[in-house]
Amino acid sequence: MRVVENVIFHHSLDRMRGGLTSQVALLQRFPMFLKFTVTHQSSESPARCGRMETEHGTIETPVFMPVGTVGTVKALDSQELEALGVTIILGNTYHLMMRPGPDVLLHLGGLHKFMTWPKSILTDSGGYQIFSLAKLRKLKEEGVEFQSHLDGTTHFLTPEKALEIQQILGSDIWMVLDECTPYPATPEQTRTSMELTLRWAQRSVKTYQKMQPKASLFGIVQGGMYEDLRHECATRLREMGEGVFQGWALGGLSVQEPNETTFRMIEVASPLLPREAPHYLMGMGLPADIVEAVERGMDMFDCVIPTRNARNGQLFTSRGTIQIRHAQYTQDSKPIDENCTCMTCKNYSRAYLRHLYLAKEILSARLNTIHNISYYLGLMKALQQAIREDRFQKFKRDFYEAQNQSDS
Which residues are tagged catalytic? 124, 302
Cβ density class 149-161: b for 16+ within 10 Å, e for less? eeeeeeeebbbbb
DSSP summary character for residue 67 = B
Question: How many other β-carbons are positioned within 10 Å of the β-carbon of residue 230?
Answer: 27
Angle at CA of residue 79, ends 76 and 80, nearest 5°: 45
C-alpha dist (Å) from residue 223 to 21, 110, 249, 265, 377:
32, 33, 12, 9, 30
| Residue 107 neighbours by CB under 8 Å, 6+ apart | none
Strands across the sheet containing 144-147:
137-139, 144-147, 154-157
| DSSP H or E segment with residue 52 | strand 48-54
Is residue 320 a contact partner of residue 404, using CB atoms and an 8 Å limit? yes
320 vs 334: CA distance, rounded Å: 15
SS3 call for 39:
strand
318 vs 111: CA distance, rounded Å: 34
Question: How many other β-carbons are positioned within 10 Å of the β-carbon of residue 211?
Answer: 14
| DSSP H or E segment with residue 377 | helix 362-388
| Residue 261 neighbours by CB under 8 Å, 6+ apart | 225
Show the beta-strand stretches assigned E in 102-254. Answer: 120-124, 137-139, 144-147, 154-157, 173-175, 216-221, 245-250
| Residue 226 neighbours by CB under 8 Å, 6+ apart | 187, 190
Q: Residue 314 burial by CB count (10 A; 0-12/13-18/19+): exposed, middle or buried? A: middle
